[in-house]
Structure 1
Amino acid sequence: MTSHKTPIDSCCTCMEMPASALFLSPIYTGVQYNTFPKHNFAFFALLLLPSDMASACFFSLIFLLSFHNAIALKNDFSSLFETTKPISVQTYIVHVKQPEGRVLLQSEDLESWHKSFLPAKTDSPDRQPNLVYSYRNVISGFAARLTLEEVKAMEEKDGFISARPERMLKKQTTRTPNFLGLFQQTGLWKKSNFGKGVIIGVLDGGIFRNHPSFSDAEIPPPPAKWKGRCEFNLSDCNNKLIGARTFNLGAKALKGEKAEAPIDVDGHGTHTASTAAGGFVKNAEALGNAEGTAVGMAPYAHLAIYKVCFGEPGDDCPESDILAGLEAAVEDGVDVLSLSLGDVSSPFFQDNIAVGSFAAIQKGIFVSCSAGNSGPFNGTLSNEAPWILTVGASTIDRSIIATAKLGNGEEFDGESTQRTTDITPKQLPLVYAGTNGKSESAVCAQGSLKDIDVKNKVVACERGGGVGRIAKGEEVKNAGGAAMILLNQESDGFSTNADAHVLPATHVTFVDGLKIKAYINSTATPTASILFKGTEIGNSLAPIVASFSSRGPNLQSPGILKPDIIGPGVNILAAWPFPLDDTTDPKLTFNIMSGTSMSCPHLSGIAALLKSSHPYWSPAAIKSAIMTSADIVTIEGTPILDQTLQPADLFATGAGHVNPSRANDPGLIYDIQPDDYVPYLCGLGYKDEEVGIIAHRPIKCSEESSIPEGDLNYPSFSVTLGPSQTFTRTVTNVGEAYSSYTAKIVTPEGVDVSVKPNKLVFSKVNQKMTYSVKFSRTASNGKIHEYDQGFLTWVSAKQSVRSPISVRFQ
């Protein structure tokens, strides 16, 4: 018997990843750490804020400083007439050295040492300097209420390092919630009660149950419908982690896997689960970077874990185990299913994720799946079925900068994550790995550098060739190299990743890689160094579609536009098991990963919020709300770009980038009931038994009113034009009872689009109205492009309901 295998779609080059790395599982694209100097901390704190908030804070800071100076001048002038000046007391953070030859084991000893820096006398007889906190681990120092004069007095004492007034910082997340417009005190999070009462089922590699992201503080017991169970010790589950089960009989048959608890052994399951529904965890960071409050999309939702993947990262997840997990999840009563799994395109009746997911939507369960990591090439999608939300990956506005500085003074910013002990600021000899003319050496394949002198050198390796990015660094290190510059392939363009490399490294763009290779060829003694600049926030080009994100068109059903949506999937920080092995930092509780595996749980969590806010919406209604409210522009209002920094097409973005707050109030929805898919499946030309496999009941297509793909009530249009075609859609009013919408069309080039009627007038909530759209080639049109695109938007006084249009010219 043969097994149909479904690999974890876990990172942007999961097929490239090796089985081990020095301190982190190399399937992930890196854990960042901060290299900002202490005197830049205030500036870094501003970078942690959303860009508009950072700007406001910056100019407010300038204003306050100016105002402070003005007050100081005023007080100096007033002193001519007054005998006393007002005393300004602030809380200062004071850094001091540890006392030489003393070990401060007791809190009293530490506090006594810190108090020794405080002046004995003050400007006011009724006030004494006040020690607020003594710190042992976070800094060597303390917080105290002091005047500026008292701080100046401390500066003269041995052991004093620095002091600065504390700042009032806003609560910050690991970026994506704020980037998506989710805030604690307002908007969708508050309206949806943070997803409270919704159960998200995650099919993946298990979970690290003791992680603080899975605390059940403030979370009520699961709803009465919950039927699942916990295969850990019962006490290891709680009101957040309400269930955890293992399904490994398929894996056991293939590889002799022994029965085991649903414990995460590679980090992937923990990361995806916390991205969807991790609770608030303060002071989160990954090796010193991305500091803030970590939180998933639906922080008060319940989690049910189904372990269906086993072995080393990147190993297969048997479909039998996946189906068993889906079976249990449906039976247990989950509301949302999140599957960061996928395989190559196949007919829906042969795709067991599609088949199992159809059973889920029949029970009202929303299903979110990864689009795949085979981009940027067209026709590379996984999970193409229209009842699944297919999620592509895009960047957020945070970068983790590592710079390649060449001997000629040129600097090229790339991305990487390293420990501070791995920094190599000095110039070292630079060599191109493919200098021997061998393609396997150019990509730094295993064993390919043995005959090249790379010892104590910076080695430039080409990306690709079936070799993982981390594995390339391992080969360089094993061959004696000191550092690596990873050069993008042309297809990857400007899309880079922050990897936890095993040696100092940076990942640069294709354009910069060409310049680096040109420099190597221009001199007999090329040199380079790697400089780490840490985290930068505020990239106005975000979101950009990741190069690895799989693209349409939909091979199994060209009349359905896929992917449906894009969401954050590059350098995402979320929960991480600790320790994974003896070399893992025991304090490492968060890690950074990239892939559509990361974007998928973002949308799973957002679907849970919408389910909580609108408990009676169907899975198709939730999907419609997400799609028709999506953003098609960046932070600065320009079109979303792809890895070439050119406007991305619909095969990359689908409907656009998710906007959770707007999805909560979409105005109109395109609803589809499970039985509505049967005429569509018959219209695909499937045999009766093939449709029956999906529908889970006997089907006779001869007795069904088969419809063309374009007539499925989908929130997008994918049209193949020879002769003119007309499709119908039905929208449901979920906005204001009395409302009217007018059709606005951005017409694809060479196409005439007409909508009848072009105005929809509603008089009550949940009222349905039907319209038709006719697509025709214009008389003057030749075959300008194989594809073109546009949009149909229904606009009211308050709402904008947008459907993308993709046209293929036959």
Structure 2
Amino acid sequence: MSGIWPESPSFNDKGYGPPPPKWKGKCAKGANFTGCNNKVIGATYFNLDSAVVTEELTPVDTDGHGTHTSSTAAGVSVPSASLYGLAPGTARGGAPSARISMYKVCWYFGCSDMDLLAGFDAAIADGVDVISVSIGGPGRDFFEDPMAIGAFHAVKKGIFVSCSGGNSGPELMTVQNVAPWMVTVAASSIDRQFQTAVKLGSGLGVSGISINTFSPRKQLYPLTSGSHAANASAKAYGNASVCDWGTLDQRKVKGKIVYCVGMGQDSTIRELGGSGLIMAADLYPDVAFSFVVAATAIKPTDGTKIDGYVNSTKRATAIIYKTKTVNMAAPFVASFSSRGPQLITPNILKLYHCRSTSSTALTIAPEAKPTPMKIKQQDAELGSGSGQINPMKALHPGLLYDISMSSYISFLCKQGYNSTTIRLLTGGNKLYNCSTLRPARGTDGINYPSMHLQLPNPNSTISAAFYRTVTNVGYKNSVYTAKVKLPEGLEVTVVPTTLSFNRLRQKRSFKVVVKGKFVEEDAWILSALLEWSDSKYSVRSPIVVYRQLFAVI
């Protein structure tokens, strides 16, 4: 991570006692670092790649990302929080009672492999319960990936590891951190939209998306466009209509609201003395940005109307209002959240919507770690993956899909790893001979709640078998019955169709056979749902079959 600001109200330690006796971490010294407290009980940094670090060596967050993600995961309740009055409410992390230790491994140049691994090593040695890592990178084989290697060793010690799936959506095949021993977290929406309205002198009103905290000081401001404000004598390369730097005439911009095609011109408009900015771009309604001038982003169709108005009069005027929050349905997968399928192990369906839930669950039900969050499945698409987590129900799931470390080794053998590559991942002196191990069964070879099949070519027949084992953590005496929801063209058989338990922690196994074909020629994904339910619990597993549409070189 990029460090932490311990003085943030989100990390106030009021009401906290001293760190637990098991804690072995430290609080490193550094420039501008105010020190730890009983909430932030550890903070250190790693710069083993010191040849390229030009920043001051300190745990202090020089970027903001580490502080943001830490407060999201475990920040205490901060009442009356807002951004200059916008979106008022209580700011609170998912597990507000949890303590925090920060391991700074990212610098201005990025996050080096050796620093990432050093951070994992330190967290494991310090005695943490959960490792939350909001860092991503290009996909690599597990034995070359520091995230996969570090997470493997943490899980081996009983530590829950949660990693971000990435912010490269909505494009497919962009998900990161896909090792099966880590929980991959997608981005989810909030229940509010930030709408910033524009009103033209003609009376036309347009609604845009932004976080605009600037209150207008006039009823109307002069309005122009990048095209009208072009600097005819400028030698700069660029396009005035998109307000590229160096293409505009300051005399034509000063004191005016400027309409530009595209996003991100606010610094240019401010430098030239402009009063505001209207940007026309293809938008996602769940993403709002703040700008250094009063600004809003509108749809291109609305931009055409504004451009037409500017061209129709010599005295165009407009006003940009302060942003208002509007309630909207939630949650849904954020537009920027990375999507599957993942390319390292295509038959594993990743992306969960959890992070802080794991901290709470491990506190209440420590016997379930390190895989308690791989339980409650609610959806079956490449964006939402295994679905949104219900934090309360996740504490009492009914059934667990446990995975042992030996199962991970068998999975790696099935993926084509050998004793050498497995040792690069696991470390130590032990050599694993895949030929002597119990082979992983089924299409994916792992005890995952989700079931995922990538067809080798678009015309392949659908045929897969998944073997699963569940552990009873619900009622002592219980009977679960299988129910399957199917799309046209898919056939799913569950054997057996009932699972009977007469004691807690008892295990039962079942087999799921998936067959069929794509009925529609242009369809590329089929999604089904397996649900095990008794009188109280409902445990759902997505079943996804998709055609391989892209050649991977």
Which secondary structure does the structure 1 equivalent of 2:150 belong to? helix
Contact kept in structure 2, 1:749 and 1:789, CA below 8 Å:
no
Corresponding position of 2:397: 666
Corresponding position of 1:308: 105
Distance 1:449-1:380 versus aligned 2 partners, 3 A rule: farther
Q: Which has the higher contact order (CA 8 A, sep 6+)?
A: 1
What is the CA deviation profile of residues 517-559 of structure 1, one whole-angstrom value per residue up to 9, with x for unaligned ones? 24423642354321124333x31x2223222111100111110
Q: CA deviation at 1:733?
A: 1.1
In structure 1, give the amino acid aligned to 2:503.
K
Corresponding position of 1:623: 373
In the alignment, the residues of structure 1 paired with residue 161 and residue 172 of structure 2 have an alpha-carbon distance, to the nearest angstrom, of 24
2:90 aligned to 289, 293, 296, which one? 293
1:500 aligned to 265, 287, 290, which one? 290
Distance 1:349-1:463 versus aligned 2 partners, 3 A rule: farther
Which secondary structure does the structure 1 equivalent of 2:335 belong to? coil
In the alignment, the residues of structure 1 paired with residue 345 and residue 85 of structure 2 have an alpha-carbon distance, to the nearest angstrom, of 46
What is the CA deviation profile of residues 219-260 of structure 1, one whole-angstrom value per residue up to 9, with x for unaligned ones? 23322221111114999323211111111232x2113444x2
Kindly indicate whether residue 149 of structure 2 is the aligned counterpart of residue 410 of structure 1: no
Q: CA deviation at 1:452?
A: 11
Q: CA deviation at 1:654?
A: 0.9
Which secondary structure does the structure 1 equivalent of 2:195 belong to? strand
Which secondary structure does the structure 1 equivalent of 2:279 belong to? strand
What is the CA deviation profile of residues 608-649 of structure 1, one whole-angstrom value per residue up to 9, with x for unaligned ones? 0000011111222x2213x42x4x5xxxxxxxxxxxxxxxx7
In structure 2, give the amino acid aligned to 1:702.
S
Quote the sequence identity (%). 39
What is the CA deviation profile of residues 48-78 of structure 1, one whole-angstrom value per residue up to 9, with x for unaligned ones? xxxxxxxxxxxxxxxxxxxxxxxxxxxxxxx
Distance 1:406-1:703 versus aligned 2 partners, 3 A rule: farther
Contact kept in structure 2, 1:374 and 1:549, CA below 8 Å:
yes
In structure 1, give the amino acid aligned to 2:37.
N
Corresponding position of 1:477: 270
Which secondary structure does the structure 2 equivalent of 1:474 belong to? helix
What is the CA deviation profile of residues 275-319 of structure 1, one whole-angstrom value per residue up to 9, with x for unaligned ones? 1111222332222233333221111111111111223xxx41222
In the alignment, the residues of structure 1 paired with residue 241 and residue 339 of structure 2 have an alpha-carbon distance, to the nearest angstrom, of 28
Q: Map of 1:31-110 to 2, 5 A cutoff?
A: none
In the alignment, the residues of structure 1 paired with residue 525 and residue 358 of structure 2 have an alpha-carbon distance, to the nearest angstrom, of 31
In structure 2, give the amino acid aligned to 1:262.
P
In structure 1, give the amino acid aligned to 2:527.
Q
Corresponding position of 2:435: 702
In the alignment, the residues of structure 2 paired with residue 693 and residue 434 of structure 1 have an alpha-carbon distance, to the nearest angstrom, of 61
Corresponding position of 2:233: none
Contact kept in structure 2, 1:207 and 1:270, CA below 8 Å:
yes
Distance 1:531-1:235 versus aligned 2 partners, 3 A rule: closer
Q: CA deviation at 1:208?
A: 1.3
2:53 aligned to 246, 255, 261, which one? 255
Corresponding position of 1:608: 359
Q: CA deviation at 1:710?
A: 1.9
Q: CA deviation at 1:460?
A: 3.5
Which secondary structure does the structure 2 equivalent of 1:623 belong to? coil
Q: CA deviation at 1:422?
A: 5.6
Distance 1:228-1:461 versus aligned 2 partners, 3 A rule: same
2:533 aligned to 780, 795, 798, which one? 795
In the alignment, the residues of structure 2 paired with residue 371 and residue 447 of structure 1 have an alpha-carbon distance, to the nearest angstrom, of 38
Contact kept in structure 2, 1:789 and 1:805, CA below 8 Å:
yes
Contact kept in structure 2, 1:337 and 1:604, CA below 8 Å:
no
Kindly indicate whether residue 499 of structure 2 is the aligned counterpart of residue 753 of structure 1: no
1:223 aligned to 20, 27, 39, which one? 20
Q: CA deviation at 1:676?
A: 0.9
In the alignment, the residues of structure 2 paired with residue 554 and residue 456 of structure 1 have an alpha-carbon distance, to the nearest angstrom, of 49
Q: CA deviation at 1:358?
A: 0.7
In the alignment, the residues of structure 1 paired with residue 229 and residue 535 of structure 2 have an alpha-carbon distance, to the nearest angstrom, of 63
Which secondary structure does the structure 2 equivalent of 1:651 belong to? coil
What is the CA deviation profile of residues 15-67 of structure 1, one whole-angstrom value per residue up to 9, with x for unaligned ones? xxxxxxxxxxxxxxxxxxxxxxxxxxxxxxxxxxxxxxxxxxxxxxxxxxxxx
Which secondary structure does the structure 2 equivalent of 1:652 belong to? coil
Kindly indicate whether residue 242 of structure 2 is the aligned counterpart of residue 242 of structure 1: no
In the alignment, the residues of structure 2 paired with residue 773 and residue 679 of structure 1 have an alpha-carbon distance, to the nearest angstrom, of 20
In the alignment, the residues of structure 2 paired with residue 552 and residue 403 of structure 1 have an alpha-carbon distance, to the nearest angstrom, of 35
Contact kept in structure 2, 1:375 and 1:547, CA below 8 Å:
yes
Contact kept in structure 2, 1:344 and 1:381, CA below 8 Å:
no
Q: CA deviation at 1:360?
A: 0.7
1:677 aligned to 402, 408, 418, which one? 408
Contact kept in structure 2, 1:429 and 1:458, CA below 8 Å:
yes
In structure 2, give the amino acid aligned to 1:624.
K
Corresponding position of 1:117: none
Corresponding position of 1:207: 4
Corresponding position of 1:515: 302
Distance 1:764-1:410 versus aligned 2 partners, 3 A rule: farther
Distance 1:209-1:503 versus aligned 2 partners, 3 A rule: same
1:350 aligned to 121, 144, 150, which one? 144
Q: Map of 1:384-463 to 2, 5 A cutoff?
A: 384-421=178-215, 425-431=219-225, 441=240, 443-449=242-248, 453-463=252-262
1:534 aligned to 320, 324, 332, which one? 324
In the alignment, the residues of structure 1 paired with residue 200 and residue 277 of structure 2 have an alpha-carbon distance, to the nearest angstrom, of 13
In the alignment, the residues of structure 1 paired with residue 5 and residue 196 of structure 2 have an alpha-carbon distance, to the nearest angstrom, of 31
In the alignment, the residues of structure 2 paired with residue 677 and residue 702 of structure 1 have an alpha-carbon distance, to the nearest angstrom, of 15
Which secondary structure does the structure 2 equivalent of 1:399 belong to? strand
Q: CA deviation at 1:449?
A: 4.0
In the alignment, the residues of structure 2 paired with residue 551 and residue 434 of structure 1 have an alpha-carbon distance, to the nearest angstrom, of 41
Corresponding position of 1:551: 339
1:715 aligned to 429, 432, 449, which one? 449
In the alignment, the residues of structure 1 paired with residue 321 and residue 143 of structure 2 have an alpha-carbon distance, to the nearest angstrom, of 52
Corresponding position of 1:656: 387
Q: CA deviation at 1:429?
A: 1.6
Unpaired runs of 5+ in structure 2? 231-236, 549-553
Corresponding position of 2:507: 768
Q: CA deviation at 1:453?
A: 4.8
Which secondary structure does the structure 1 equivalent of 2:169 belong to? coil
**Number of equivalences:** 529
Contact kept in structure 1, 2:443 and 2:464, CA below 8 Å:
no
Contact kept in structure 1, 2:160 and 2:370, CA below 8 Å:
yes
Kindly indicate whether residue 173 of structure 2 is the aligned counterpart of residue 379 of structure 1: yes
Q: CA deviation at 1:363?
A: 0.7
In the alignment, the residues of structure 1 paired with residue 541 and residue 250 of structure 2 have an alpha-carbon distance, to the nearest angstrom, of 57
Q: CA deviation at 1:442?
A: 5.3
Contact kept in structure 2, 1:371 and 1:549, CA below 8 Å:
yes
Unpaired runs of 5+ in structure 1? 1-203, 567-602, 633-648
Kindly indicate whether residue 93 of structure 2 is the aligned counterpart of residue 362 of structure 1: no
In the alignment, the residues of structure 2 paired with residue 211 and residue 254 of structure 1 have an alpha-carbon distance, to the nearest angstrom, of 29
Contact kept in structure 2, 1:344 and 1:380, CA below 8 Å:
no
Contact kept in structure 1, 2:213 and 2:323, CA below 8 Å:
no
Kindly indicate whether residue 125 of structure 2 is the aligned counterpart of residue 334 of structure 1: no
In the alignment, the residues of structure 2 paired with residue 688 and residue 444 of structure 1 have an alpha-carbon distance, to the nearest angstrom, of 57
In structure 1, give the amino acid aligned to 2:296.
T
In structure 1, give the amino acid aligned to 2:268.
E
- Structure having the higher helix fraction is 1
- Give the TM-score, by structure 1 length: 0.61
Q: CA deviation at 1:657?
A: 2.0
Distance 1:453-1:710 versus aligned 2 partners, 3 A rule: farther
Which stretch of the first structure deviates more once superposed, 232-241 or 766-775? 232-241
- Give the TM-score, by structure 2 length: 0.88
Contact kept in structure 2, 1:434 and 1:443, CA below 8 Å:
no
In structure 1, give the amino acid aligned to 2:285.
F
What is the CA deviation profile of residues 373-400 of structure 1, one whole-angstrom value per residue up to 9, with x for unaligned ones? 1111000111111111111112111223
Which secondary structure does the structure 2 equivalent of 1:326 belong to? helix
